[in-house]
Amino acid sequence: MDTTDVQRMFDVDGMGRSFLIGSVVGGLLTFLVTGGITLLATQELGPALVVGGFAGFWGGPGFGGMLGAVTAATRAEDAARMPDTP
């Protein structure tokens, strides 16, 4: 992989925005799903919030940010492959 390929990958418009949105959405969804599963496992509200918060803080932003960044990169690659049509 050439240095210009790596630089072009990071110059994608909206990459940071997509990463941030993905991180927030991933964190919230992980919090809600993990907390909900903990509640369904007959735990009380307090422990369910703690487990959901822990998983949402440590797992959600990384996974969501990765998906957001990959989505932005894929859209940029698809746009680069498409011919300009009026």
What is this structure's pTM?
0.73
Segments of the chain scoring below 70 in pLDDT: 1-12, 84-86
* Confidence at residue 72, expressed as pLDDT on a 0 to 100 scale: 86
Using DSSP's 3-state secondary structure scheme, residue 54 falls into helix
Q: How far apart are the first and last CA of the chain?
A: 33
* Confidence at residue 79, expressed as pLDDT on a 0 to 100 scale: 77
* Confidence at residue 9, expressed as pLDDT on a 0 to 100 scale: 59
Domain ranges of the chain: 21-77
* Confidence at residue 73, expressed as pLDDT on a 0 to 100 scale: 84
Residue partners of 59: CB distance under 8 A and separation at least 6: 26, 30
Q: Within 1-86, where are the H helices? A: 3-10, 15-40, 45-58, 60-81
* Confidence at residue 23, expressed as pLDDT on a 0 to 100 scale: 92
